[in-house]
Amino acid sequence: MTTATLAHDNLLEVRNLRKYFGKGSHPVRAVDDVSFSIRKGETLGLVGESGSGKSTIGRLLTRLVDPTDGEMLYQPAASEATPRDLADLSQAQFRPLRSKIQIIFQDPYASLNPRMRIRDVLGEALDTHGLAKGSARKPRIEQLLQQVGLRPEHADRYPHEFSGGQRQRIGIARALAVEPQFIVADEPLSALDVSIQAQVVNLLGELKEQLGLTLLFISHDLDVVEYLCDRVVVLYLGRVMEIAPTESLYANPRHPYTRALLAAAPIPDPAQRRVVPLLQGDLPSPANPPSGCVFRTRCPMAEERCASADMQLREVQSGHWHACWRDDL
């Protein structure tokens, strides 16, 4: 087990992470040997088609599912001598870290108890971690509501009395209640009207700055990712195809898969943003991925050697990595 310290500005280093669902000879390889890092205070985007393993990575980092293999090294403060391997902690050992690492879901309504007033939803989150007790409770709840753009009197309402955008704000307030350091946002805009999405994106960006949060932003909306994220990880069939600073990725995508994602022509109607287009052909089954480069069966540039290649990420420019051996792209 590695316990080397992390590069000094990293909050998290994911190394050779795997999550296989099911046993037997053909488990679903939802996440297959994935490595990337997350710097303190950055917003890292995670993109890829549906089924590429994005949510599974979010659920692994928050230990909603247990990894099959690999490391998730977490170092909240440089003063701590060694990082903790989140993959190696039992659920009981992870519990104290739960307040530091929070997740926001696509549909907050599904995770809000319809019979609970918002005051109790937030109170429950505070209680779980023994925060804002007694007379500190009411002002803290009002502060949380204000932070997400709601009003103090909203505390006494029930989830069904809110619009979709407001419910997502409540989901964000609930995550913030426990004073997290790191938030995974898994498609937090997908259930919202386009007109509301920009408000929630701006709120996330503002809160991140104000509270010094680190964010993993999972999305299939490439325009929002370009707007919000500092760096981007491109995932395909449970594997990383490319990692780069946002500007570098959008200006100069290196991997044929990233190029295919970005190839969708700009749409004149600003309400219709660029979302991950369907590539030709079906996504292969993650229970039976292609040999060599997993993208080769849909890659316009595929050659014979791709079938037997052991593709690893290579750094082609400072901070810009991709898993294709062609340099002429």
Residues 172-231 that bind ligand ADP (CB under 6 A): none
Which of Mg ion, ligand ADP, none sits in contact with 168, Cβ below 5 to 8 A by type?
none
Residue from 11, 12, 14, 28 binding ligand ADP (CB under 6 A): 28
Residue from 43, 52, 99, 197 binding ligand ADP (CB under 6 A): 52
Q: Are residues 200 and 149 in contact, defined by beta-carbon separation less than 8 angstroms?
A: no
State yes or no: residue 219 binds Mg ion (CB under 5 A): no
Least CB distance from residue 282 to Mg ion, whole Å? 18
State yes or no: residue 50 binds ligand ADP (CB under 6 A): yes
Q: Give the containing element (helix H, strand E) for 18.
A: strand 10-21
Kindly report each contact of residues 84-87 with a partner whose C-beta sits within 8 Å and lies 24 or more positions away, as own/partner: 85/1, 85/3, 86/61, 87/17, 87/60
Residue 64 structure tokens: 């909603």
Q: Are residues 87 and 268 in contact, defined by beta-carbon separation less than 8 angstroms?
A: no
C-alpha distances (whole Å) from 261 to each of 126, 265, 309 are: 41, 10, 23
Q: Which stretch binds Mg ion (CB under 5 A): 18-26, 49-57, 76-84, 137-145?
A: 49-57
Cα 242 from Cα 22, distance rounded (Å):
27
Binding mask of the shown chain, residues 70 to 109, with x at each position contacting ligand ADP by CB under 6 A: ----------------------------------------
Cα 189 from Cα 179, distance rounded (Å):
22
The residue (of 256 and 286) whose beta carbon lies closer to ligand ADP is 286
The residue (of 51 and 123) whose beta carbon lies closer to ligand ADP is 51
Q: Rounded to the nearest 10 degrees, what angle do helices 118-128 and 137-147 cross at?
A: 110
Residues in contact with Mg ion, counted by CB under 5 A, come to a total of 2
Residue from 18, 54, 119, 274 binding ligand ADP (CB under 6 A): 54
Residues 272-291 that bind ligand ADP (CB under 6 A): 286
Least CB distance from residue 21 to ligand ADP, whole Å? 3
Q: Which stretch binds ligand ADP (CB under 6 A): 34-42, 45-53, 67-75, 224-232?
A: 45-53
Residues in contact with ligand ADP, counted by CB under 6 A, come to a total of 12
Q: Centre a 10 Å sphere on the Cβ of residue 215 and count the other Cβ atoms it contains.
A: 22
CA dihedral 251, 262, 186, 248 (to 10 degrees): -10
Question: Could you tell me the sign of the dihedral formed by the alpha carbons of 273, 279, 285, 288, in that order?
Answer: negative
The residue (of 173 and 323) whose beta carbon lies closer to ligand ADP is 323
Q: Which stretch binds ligand ADP (CB under 6 A): 51-59, 105-113, 273-281, 320-328?
A: 51-59
Residues 125-144 that bind Mg ion (CB under 5 A): none
What residues have CB less than 8 Å from 206, skipping those under 6 apart? none
Judged by DSSP in three states, 187 sits in: coil
Which of Mg ion, ligand ADP, none sits in contact with 14, Cβ below 5 to 8 A by type?
none
Distance of CA 159 to the CA centre of its chain: 25
Residue 149 buriedness (CB in 10 A; 0-12 / 13-18 / 19+): middle
Least CB distance from residue 55 to Mg ion, whole Å? 3
Residue from 5, 16, 21, 68 binding ligand ADP (CB under 6 A): 21
Least CB distance from residue 58 to Mg ion, whole Å? 8
Binding region for Mg ion (CB under 5 A): 54-55
Binding region for ligand ADP (CB under 6 A): 21, 28, 30, 48, 50-56, 286
